[in-house]
Amino acid sequence: MALRINLYHEIDSQRSASRRDPLKIAGYILGVVVVIFAAMYVLELSRSSALNAKFGDLKSQFDQLDPQAREAEKREKTLMRTLETSEKFVKNIETRFYWAPVIEDVVKAVPREVQIVKLTGSVQGEDLKKAQMTFDGIAAGPDPRRVAEDLRQALVETFGKKYKHVTASFRQLDEGAEMASLDGKSLPTATFGITISLQVGEDQPATPPPADRKKRRG
Amino acid sequence: MKLSKDQIQKIVLGVLAGLGVVYGYFTLLLFPLQASHNTTKKSIAALDPEIAKARAQLARDADVRQQAPLAQATLAQIDRMIPEGAPVAWFPTRIGEFFKTRGIDRATTRLNAEVAHPKLPGYRRITWGVEVPRAECLTLGTTIAALENEELLVSIESISIETQREEPDTQRVQLTLINMVKQ
């Protein structure tokens, strides 16, 4: 058996020591970490750059839109005032209470046995209009009170078709001192006063009562 | 494996260098970048609704501008119905003429009250008392109907029709009119 003598054992041990050099290994590891970190940074930088570009784009859009919007807001306020005024005017005109149809209805409802001596009426309210009318007159017939009552009911029926909450009541109903001549007959009379109230327009929705905040203690 | 003193020193040095790199990387590079990233994100999040608001405002404005000509025309038409000058100078004459052309010779108009319109800025409500001493029933009815149809800025607040004892075919009429005029 041949004897082998390694004359380079010192060189080999040096090489081996160099391969296992912790500083060198640490350098490699550090290099890898640096590369990973650099990649992460580049990635983050690119995302940040995209975000900055988006922000710049939005900012320029906002800078362009904001003065326009401010100007539009001022103009809108002025135009809205015009629109509201016009709308209120039209509503004011369209929701007026018309007396001519009322008078026409009264003329139609009054029978020939009745003479209206005085008619007064007034209307109040803006959106919801409440009208009140009084009729003073003379009714003639075999039963003049019945004639006056028929007139009251006829007025309620006539106005009830067009208006809301129509109520009619006698303010006064007395036998008349004079006799009236109708169709050649002399008939007893009654003087009456009828008050009618009615409503035009929609009822305002009732305001809900405030919630009871106090807790009930048992 | 036994580490020599030199190797231990090198390992410690390597670890320190690694820690330095990690610290420097996070403190000087990544964290400031992420902070800037977050700030930009917040700014974008704040800007988005502002842009949407501005766009909505512009859309609303366009909508209002589209409706405006009709409203402006209506107001101009209404303004044309109101003559220039003090109402007391033209309204009684106008009403007198109105009744006269419809066969009612006398109609006296008086100013009762004048207030700023509560709902229409720039306009006033004037209350007038009109007295017609003598009018025939049918003529009166048609005249009131015509007044309500033709005088759009006039509304009748109250009415009183009373038969005259001496002439049962004619009535004495009192009207309270409300007229809208410019301030």
Task: Tell me which of A94-98, B11-15, B68-72 is least confident.
Answer: B11-15
Least confident of A25-34, A92-101, B29-38: A25-34
The pLDDT tens digits for A4-40 are 777 788 888 788 767 777 667 777 887 898 899 889 9
Cβ-contact A88, B119 below 8 angstroms = yes
Cβ-count burial of A108 within 10 angstroms (0-12 exposed, 13-18 middle, 19+ buried)? exposed
Whether the CA torsion A72, A75, A81, A83 is positive or negative: it is: negative
Under 8 Å between Cβ of B123 and B117: yes
Q: Are A119 and A132 in contact (CB under 8 A)?
A: no
Residue of chain A with shortest Cα separation from B63: A76
CB pair distance less than 8 Å for A58 and B51: yes
Tell me: pLDDT of A214 over 70: no
- Owner of token pair 């109903």: A173
Cα(B159)–Cα(B144) distance, integer angstroms: 10
Chain A: give the shortest CA distance to residue B155, in Å.
6
Residues of A in contact with B37 (CB under 8 A): 44, 47-48, 51
Q: Mean per-residue pLDDT for A86-104?
A: 89
Whether B44 and A54 lie within 8 Å, measured CB to CB: yes
Question: What does the pLDDT read at residue B50?
Answer: 93
pLDDT tens digits for range A164-197: 999 999 999 998 888 888 888 889 999 999 999 9
Q: What residues of chain B lie within 8 A of the CB of A47, using their CB?
A: 37
**Mean local confidence (pLDDT), A145-153:** 93
Look at residue B121 in the predicted model and tell me its pLDDT: 83
pLDDT band at A206, cuts 50/70/90?
low
For the stretch A28-38, pLDDT in tens is: 887 898 899 88
Half-sphere exposure (CA, 13 Å, Cβ side) for A110?
A: 20
Q: Give residue B167's pLDDT.
A: 79
Residue ranges of alpha helices (H) inside chain A are 9-19, 22-94, 100-109, 144-162
Q: Which helix (H) or strand (E) holds B46?
A: helix B31-81
What is the rounded distance in angstroms from the CA atom of residue B136 to the CA atom of residue B144? Answer: 12
Nearest-by-CA chain A residue for B119: A88
Residues linked to residue A199 through DSSP beta bridges, in sequence order: A130, A164
Tell me the shortest Cα–Cα distance from A173 to chain B, in angstroms: 19
Q: What is the ipTM of this complex?
A: 0.74
Cβ separation of A100 and B71 shorter than 8 Å? no
Over 60: is that where the pLDDT of A217 sits? no
Q: Report the run of H or E that residue B86 belongs to, with start and end.
A: none
Question: Which chain B residue is nearest to residue A118, measuring alpha carbons?
Answer: B162
Nearest CA in chain A to B67: A83
pLDDT of residue B176: 95
Nearest CA to A82 among B146, B92, B73? B73
Give the per-residue pLDDT at B174.
95
